[in-house]
Every structure is written in structure tokens, then in C-alpha cells.
């Protein structure tokens, strides 16, 4: 009776199952080895490829407009757009990055050598709540004997200086990476139609036919919202104000421009830094006309976000500012200057995809 129900003997069946299990393990092992090996090969280029994709997605609407003017020639339009960006953005960005590197290196050398001159603190500092007395004492000590303060806090200063020098060194690397990513984004945009079709096919394979299309739309909207509405405005303000800092000779102009960029990403008005530099120029510059011209220019550039935000912000998705801030700071800590931009976009994208998945599961 057993042989009629089970035509294969028990031992033969066990051998067949064991062979199938062994075959499955071998296949999984080979696939795992292939994935890990490919990842190791591709690992040095992951940041570059992600940044080029972000640039391509953010710039693609502008590329379409240019392509229409050029008779739907995508390759020529992508080349023209990349060249315009290099000429209009790359040159001032390079100046700011090198200024940041020079300022950081000079500041660290002055601190290490003890030649840095710290001005005397105002008496009003002692009246500040909570930290006033300690800050006044530390400031006064740095004014009278900076070498002693440096020697006292040498371990902490050493850690900070290494980080500052690391950021200064990564500034040049960020310029080269941005240039390479911009060129790659031009290639992505030149083949935008086929790339979009491939992205939809991959998303549908991962999430299904219905959810795959939604996944692509959400990812595109998130990238454009963060890249254009948050980082784009911050970069424009940093470039405008940084150019003014360099022209009038503000000390550590690159560091001030980086602070404008960070404040812009976390949605804090850059006018606070602009006002402090205006006060400095009026107190140190001999020419009143130059100081007035700089003040007018800086105030206009510092409030440019009020004009740019209605034009560029709010057209995509709503991403909380703490997510943008954590992404920017975490990206900068792990990936240098370029991580500042890449981290904020990727963390915002991950947040949006996760929340979309949560609400979809809740609705079901």
C-alpha cells in the first residue's frame, strides 16, 4: 500500500531532497558571493553615482526645456546645460572652497603656533545667563595668554584641528567629485527616457506593478524637493554672500560661507551672519562708499531666500527639517563636504519611502 501511494522509496526521496537543498545552498552561496564581490568593486563609486543621479533628477526639468529649444536633441541639451553650470557655478564654488581650505589651514596654524590674536571680551559677556562668567573668564585668559589656554585644552584642540584640517582637505576632493558627478549627470539626462523606463521597471520588479510607479514618483519628488527647495537655495545664498565676503576681504571667508550653507539647510535665516559681516566692514574698512555698497549687496543676498523659497520650495513633498539637518550633519561627518549634500537628500528619501510604506500598511 505504501509503495502505491509513494512510488519512490524513502531513501531515494531523502537523497533527492538533500540534493535539492544542497543545490539551493550552492546557488544562494554563488549569488551571495557575486553580490558581495560586485559591491566591493562598485563601492568606491557609490557616492559619485548617487550624487550624479541626484543632480540628473533635479536638473532634468530644465534639461527638457533646453532640449525643446534645440529641436529635442537630448545630447546637445545635456552638454549645453552642464557647460553653463560649470561656467556659472563651478568657478565661484571653486573660489569659495579654496578660500575655506586656506582659512581653515591658516586658523589651525595660528592656534598651534600661538600667534592668533584674540580680542578682549566685552564686560557685557559676563552678564550672559548660565555661561556668562565661565565664557568671560575663558575669553579673558585667551586674550592675555593664548598659549596657556591652548596648552590646557591641547587634547580637545588637537581633535578639533584634525577635524577642521580633514574638512579642508576634503574641500578640494569635493570640487573634483562635483565636477565628475555633473558630467555623469549630463550622460544620465541625455538618456533620460530610457533611464526613467529602466527605473520604473526595477521599481515594479521590487514593489509590484502598482506600487512601483508610485515609488518612482515619490523618489523623484523627494529628490527634487530637497535638492532644489532646500539645498539649492542654501547653495545660492552661500555663493552670493561668499562672493561678497571674498571681494571685501572678510577673514576666513570660506568658513563664513560654509556657515551660511549650513544655516540655509536647517532653515535659519542667513541674515544673522550677513549683519555681523556688515558691522565688521563698517568698523574696519576705510572707504564708506565700499562699506555702504557691501551692506546693500549683503542685505539683498541675505534675504534672497524670501524670494527663492516661493519659487523653489513646496513643490515636492514635506520633509521635516530635523531629517534634513541630521542627514546633512551625518553626511558631512562621514563623507566630508560632498556628504553634506548627499546625506540630506538620501536621508530625506529614505524617510519619505519609509513613511509611505507605514501609511500604506495602515490603510490596508
Grade residue 157 by pLDDT with cuts at 50, 70 and 90.
Answer: low
Contact 229, 301 (CB under 8 A): no
Give the H/E segment covering residue 364. Answer: none
Please state, for a pLDDT cut of 90, what percent of the chain lies above it: 3
The answer, yes or no, to whether residue 50 has pLDDT greater than 50, is yes
Global model pTM greater than 0.85: no
Residue spans of the domains in the chain: they are 46-190, 192-364
The answer, yes or no, to whether residue 208 has pLDDT greater than 80, is no
For the chain, what is the radius of gyration of the CA atoms? 28
Out of 133-137, 171-175, 213-217, the most confident range is: 213-217
The answer, yes or no, to whether residue 33 has pLDDT greater than 90, is yes
H-state helical runs in the chain: 2-5, 10-42, 46-69, 74-85, 91-113, 132-144, 146-152, 154-190, 192-207, 209-226, 233-248, 253-265, 271-284, 288-302, 305-312, 321-363
Cα 48 to Cα 83, 130, 183, 195, 339, distances in angstroms: 19, 45, 11, 17, 11
- Report which DSSP code applies to 186: H
pLDDT of residue 316: 46
Grade residue 1 by pLDDT with cuts at 50, 70 and 90.
Answer: very low
The answer, yes or no, to whether residue 8 has pLDDT greater than 70, is no
Average pLDDT on 279-298 reads 80
- Report which DSSP code applies to 126: G
Amino acid at each position: 500500500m505504501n509503495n502505491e501511494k509513494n512510488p519512490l522509496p524513502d531513501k531515494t526521496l531523502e537523497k533527492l531532497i538533500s540534493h535539492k537543498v544542497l543545490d539551493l545552498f550552492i546557488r544562494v552561496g554563488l549569488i551571495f558571493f557575486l553580490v558581495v564581490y560586485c559591491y566591493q568593486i562598485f563601492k568606491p563609486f557609490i557616492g559619485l553615482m548617487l550624487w550624479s543621479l541626484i543632480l540628473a533628477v533635479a536638473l532634468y526639468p530644465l534639461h527638457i526645456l533646453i532640449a525643446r529649444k534645440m529641436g529635442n536633441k537630448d545630447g546637445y541639451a545635456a552638454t549645453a546645460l552642464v557647460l553653463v553650470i560649470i561656467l556659472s557655478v563651478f568657478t565661484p564654488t571653486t573660489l569659495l572652497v579654496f578660500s575655506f581650505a586656506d582659512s581653515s589651514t591658516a586658523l589651525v596654524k595660528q592656534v598651534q603656533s600661538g600667534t592668533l590674536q584674540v580680542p578682549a571680551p566685552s564686560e557685557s559677556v559676563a552678564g550672559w545667563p548660565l555661561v556668562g562668567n565661565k565664557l568671560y573668564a575663558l575669553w579673558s585668559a585667551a586674550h592675555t595668554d593664548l598659549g596657556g589656554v591652548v596648552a590646557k585644552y591641547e587634547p580637545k584642540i588637537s581633535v578639533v584641528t584634525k577635524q577642521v584640517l580633514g574638512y579642508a582637505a576634503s574641500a578640494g576632493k569635493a570640487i573634483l567629485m562635483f565636477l565628475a558627478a555633473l558630467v555623469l549627470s549630463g550622460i544620465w539626462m541625455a538618456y533620460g527616457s530610457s533611464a526613467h523606463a529602466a527605473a520604473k521597471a526595477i521599481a515594479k520588479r521590487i514593489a509590484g506593478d502598482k506600487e512601483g510607479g508610485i515609488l518612482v514618483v515619490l523618489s523623484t519628488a523627494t529628490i527634487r524637493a530637497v535638492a532644489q527647495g532646500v539645498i539649492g537655495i542654501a547653495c545660492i545664498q552661500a555663493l552670493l554672500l561668499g562672493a561678497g565676503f571674498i571681494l571685501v576681504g572678510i577673514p576666513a571667508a570660506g568658513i563664513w560661507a560654509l556657515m551660511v550653507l549650513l544655516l540655509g539647510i536647517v532653515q535659519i535665516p542667513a541674515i544673522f551672519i550677513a549683519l555681523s559681516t556688515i558691522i565688521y566692514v563698517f568698523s574696519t574698512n576705510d572707504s564708506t562708499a565700499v562699506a555702504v555698497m557691501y551692506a546693500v549687496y549683503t542685505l539683498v543676498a541675505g534675504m534672497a531666500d524670501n524670494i527663492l523659497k516661493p519659487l523653489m520650495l513646496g513643490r515636492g513633498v514635506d520633509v521635516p527639517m530635523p531629517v534634513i539637518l541630521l542627514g546633512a550633519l551625518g553626511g558631512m561627518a562621514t563623507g566630508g563636504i560632498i556628504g553634506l549634500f548627499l546625506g540630506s537628500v538620501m536621508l530625506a528619501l529614505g524617510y519619505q519611502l519609509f513613511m509611505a510604506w507605514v501609511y500604506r500598511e495602515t490603510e490596508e
